Chain A
Amino acid sequence: MKQPEDVSQNGAARVTVPTAVRSVQGHRAGIVTRTLAACVDGAVGVAAVALGYAGAVAAYFVLSPRGFSFPDPGFGVLFACFLGFLVCYFTLAWATTGRTYGARLLGLRVVNARGGRVRPLIALGRALLCVFIPAVLFWVVISRENRSAADVFLRTSVVYDWASS
């Protein structure tokens, strides 16, 4: 797997970043951008659940076309699937590239205290916190370092990274 350089040090990639925002690359992102990214990721989760439901319906139809009717798993099951998907999705994304789809769109990246890739266990803990206690995100508003409660607990950061996105 290719290991890109640190966001602020990747000189070759930085040429693609507009001059106006080049100075904030690598800095911790604020609440608006992160919330937007979280919304996009939520939408991704909803889409994933919807796709999963559609897949399940298609499979059910193929297996039993005569007695087919749209299944009604109930909100609880779907919501659980939604949360479970998000946990898996966040863990996988942060432990590998450091960015989810929402973070990629908004030019963000999750890094550890050294500015490097987050370890899988840390990524899992962070995903659980963010999915089940989403309010931890709003500590960014109070924090002088733009760190959420999850970031404080797990010594991670979310930084602007347009260069490699």
Chain B
Amino acid sequence: MHLGPPDAPISASPSAPRVPERGPGWTGVDAADAVLGLALVAIDTARRAGSLPLVGAPLRAVAALPGTAARVARRQPWVDELLRRGDRERREALSRADALARRVAPGLVDSVMGFVDVNELVRKHVDLDALAAELDVDAVVARADLQRAIDRVDIDGIVAGVDLQRIIDRIDVDAVIARANIQAVIDRVDVDAVVAKADLMKAIDRVDIDEVVAGVDLERIIDRVDVDAVVARADFDKVIAKLDLIELAEFVVEGIDLPGIIRSSTGSMASEGLREVRRQGIGADERVSHVVDRLLRRQERAPGQPTPRGRDGTAAPAAPSGSDH
């Protein structure tokens, strides 16, 4: 069904009766129009007749008869009974019509809406912009119980359905950080309070110290340390005071075999004259060797020392020699 504009000509409606081109013919509508035209002509004629001087008075008297009769009849008791019955019938008829309309209307409306493109209709005939401009959104929002609406929303369900990773991938974090005033954020953070609440020991337990140290360039750090300055600041007196020098001395003496040194030095160095004889002997050895090598016209000898060798003939560390006792 198409609802055309109200001022559209009747002939434009597809359901309007068409006049056959072969000549005039009677249709139902034509008959109704003819009856209506006759009624209007009759009324007009009666009005004109009522205005005539001689004929008007009797006609008006006759026309007034039904009203007079009605007023007289209204005063009769049986008329009241008649009115009550008519009123009851009318109310029942209205009730039935209402029930009938309630049954028929949904199906009828669905049928009608099937023929009508309501969206197109609204878009074509309703100025939505004008309506929206007149809408007091503030008042609507003020009346709305937003808290209740929020309470009815399942935020967990919404968040669970959101692909956050995809959203994060689409965010340009560098640009966000570039626009953020990090310093201002840091200034607002109470670092002491954060550290006080943090379980540092637990955090440290989770850290692989060995791996951290392995990644540290200790050589570079040591190069940056001013060892001289560190030593200059050290209080060696305090360090020495903490040392057990006697125990340290005993440890050193045990390590260098001091008794052995003293014993050997007293044995070998007791006589300065003997040491001089040894020195002269070594000098004489070298001179004799030099002379003999020159006489034999060969390169000067290099006596060297016995080469310690392992069992397989390869060079090995020096083995212990005989006892010195």
CB distance from B199 to the nearest CB of A (A): 55
Nearest B-chain residue to A26, judged by Cβ: B305
Q: Is there contact, CB below 8 Å, between A30 and B318?
A: no
CB distance from A100 to the nearest CB of B (A): 12
**Residue B285 CB within 8 A of the other chain:** yes
Q: Is there contact, CB below 8 Å, between A144 and B298?
A: yes
The bracket for how many chain B residues form the interface is 35 or more
Task: Find A4's partner among B286, B296, B301, B323 (CB 8 Å cutoff).
Answer: B323
Given A16-B261, A28-B304, A117 contacting B320 (CB threshold 8 A): yes
Q: What is the 8 Å Cβ interface bit string for chain A, positions 1-31, against chain B (1 contact, 0 not)?
A: 1111111110011011010110010111111
In B249-274, the 8 Å CB interface with A consists of 256-258, 260-261, 264-265, 267-269, 274
Q: How far apart sit A99 and B319, CA to CA, in the bound complex (Å)?
A: 17
Nearest B-chain residue to A123, judged by Cβ: B322
Task: Find A28's partner among B264, B279, B303, B325 (CB 8 Å cutoff).
Answer: B303
> Which residues from chain B contact A118 at a C-beta distance below 8 Å?
322
**Residue B292 CB within 8 A of the other chain:** yes
Task: Find A16's partner among B264, B281, B301 (CB 8 Å cutoff).
Answer: B264
Q: How far apart sit A96 and B319, CA to CA, in the bound complex (Å)?
A: 15
Q: How far apart sit A164 and B268, CA to CA, in the bound complex (Å)?
A: 8
Task: Find A18's partner among B257, B279, B292 (CB 8 Å cutoff).
Answer: B279
Q: How far apart sit A43 and B296, CA to CA, in the bound complex (Å)?
A: 33
> Which residues from chain A contact B302 at a C-beta distance below 8 Å?
144
A–B Cβ pairs within 8 angstroms, 6 of them: A12-B257, A18-B275, A30-B285, A111-B322, A157-B305, A165-B267
Could you tell me which B residues sit within 8 Å of A by CB distance?
A: 256-258, 260-261, 264-265, 267-269, 274-275, 277-279, 281-282, 284-286, 288-289, 292, 296, 298, 301-309, 316, 318-325
CB-based closest 6 A-B pairs: A30-B285, A6-B318, A117-B322, A98-B322, A32-B284, A33-B281
